[in-house]
Structure 1
Amino acid sequence: MFLLLGSGCAYTIQGTPVAGPLPEVPTVECTYVDTSEEANNKAVEPPSGKDVPSGGEVVMRLDTALGDLEFTLDAASAPCSVHSFRHLVEKRLYDGNACHRLVTEGIWIVQCGDPTTSGLGGPGYRYDDPEARTGGYERGVIGMANRATAGTNGSQFFIVYKDSEFPPDYPIIGKVTKGLDIIDQVATAGVTPVTSKTDGKPVKQLKFKKVQER
């Protein structure tokens, strides 16, 4: 987190001392709907939706078989989604998970976060993020994958490796701030041709050994 308590009544922002009390982070209410009984869902208890921070940044480190990735998540951009992502990291849902989808034409993304790697799985709950920023899916952006309808966000997310244009239905949760070259390696290796040569399972597997908050 960038806001850290200092000594006395002072605090620091990115290492710079600032006098006065720690500023309050605004909050929102989020609704997480239990779907653990539906097929292809992993039974993860939903997080609390009360007093969810809608400000501040969170840095995630992803240890992968191809090297380290770093995500910087922005709670002001998509508070309900970032809150859920942090919860799923804490519950270890992403550990051992492999990215299941690569798209190399029309839009340029690597999609991850399905505990079943089938493209149909989720964490056992779904939610909406009505205040989220959407649109502007440029290289390095991380967005939540859903069914392009409200209330269908879960655990799946995508990484944009080349500026893409598609409907603004997907919350932007942050950016890749380290290791985008690893995503490029996956994209360059291409798609395993089953039903499509441009949309499917990546030839080069991107598997998360461990995901943790810094």
Structure 2
Amino acid sequence: MARRLLLSAVMVLLTTGCAYTVQGTPVAGPLPEVPMTKCDYKSVAGDGDTKQVDLPDGDRVPAEGEVVFSVDTSQGDIEFTMDAASAPCSVHSFKHLVQERFYHGNKCHRMVTAGIWIIQCGDPTGLGQGGPSYKYDDPDAKTGGYERGVIGMANRSTPGTNGSQFFIVYKDSEFPSHYPVLGKVTRGMDVLDKVAAGGVVAVQSETDGKPVKELKLTTITEK
């Protein structure tokens, strides 16, 4: 009888949301609260370089927790694992843009093959200056440590002008440490290596231009 009562109590806690598990063991009490922060997403005037999209809600932005995205591309599948504790405003914005299907069909417009080693994506125009109809800063973001696999947030011109563009480091790089680190590529670096091996269509220089092997973001979905 005592055992049945105990099991009944546990079931009540589980079904009412008043219990959570630690290593599989039910623990009484409310779920631990996720730390929150605020982000200031500012509208920018619409022009040929911006794609209209609703502003993210910046009042209660998670400042902890991982978000995993499946990225289907023209060259193969990739997985992003982003860390809200590392760059809360950037990760929240990226998730919002994914939900808005902002990235679907975008082509990665830039690759650098000397000095720094990155592939840059997220411009809806494919020309390097585009983004969503808002901008933001991420003052609490972690920066620096741009090693292979890191996903960083690019900006339109200066810190505080983040939008939709991001870069992936395919070889350890060193450059000014004011770009928020969103997370890492946790699957599919071979896809990026394949693109990098194809070289660039020289635009700004022989080592800075569009990838010869087109990298198109077919879809991005949250797992």
TM-score calculated relative to the size of structure 2:
0.89
Q: Does structure 2 conserve the Cα–Cα contact (< 8 Å) formed by 1:36 and 1:123?
A: no
Aligned positions, number: 208
Separation (CA, whole Å) in 1 of partners of 2:87 and 2:31: 22
Instruction: Give the letter aligned to residue 107 of structure 1.
Output: I
Separation (CA, whole Å) in 2 of partners of 1:16 and 1:202: 47
Separation (CA, whole Å) in 1 of partners of 2:187 and 2:26: 29
TM-score calculated relative to the size of structure 1:
0.92
Separation (CA, whole Å) in 1 of partners of 2:103 and 2:156: 20
Deviation at 1:100, TM superposition (A): 0.4
SS at match of 1:135: coil
Large movers: runs of 4+ above 6 Å: none
The alignment's C-alpha RMSD in Å is 1.6
Q: Name 1:51's counterpart in structure 2.
A: 60
Per-residue deviation, residues 114-144 of structure 1 (Å, max 9, x unmatched): 0001000011110000000000000000000
Q: Name 1:210's counterpart in structure 2.
A: 219
Q: Name 2:119's counterpart in structure 1.
A: 110
Q: Name 1:3's counterpart in structure 2.
A: none
Aligned with residue 7 of structure 1, among 14, 19, 24: 14
Larger Rg: 2
SS at match of 1:46: coil
Q: Counterparts in 2 of 1:119-130, with a 5 A limit?
A: 119-130=128-139
Distance change >3 Å, CA 12–CA 138, structure 1 → 2: farther
Which runs of no fewer than 5 residues in structure 1 stay unpaired?
1-5
Q: Counterparts in 2 of 1:133-212, with a 5 A limit?
A: 133-147=142-156, 149-212=158-221
Q: Name 1:75's counterpart in structure 2.
A: 84
Per-residue deviation, residues 7-34 of structure 1 (Å, max 9, x unmatched): 3433357x74452431111111100111
Which runs of no fewer than 5 residues in structure 2 stay unpaired?
1-12
Separation (CA, whole Å) in 2 of partners of 1:156 and 1:212: 17
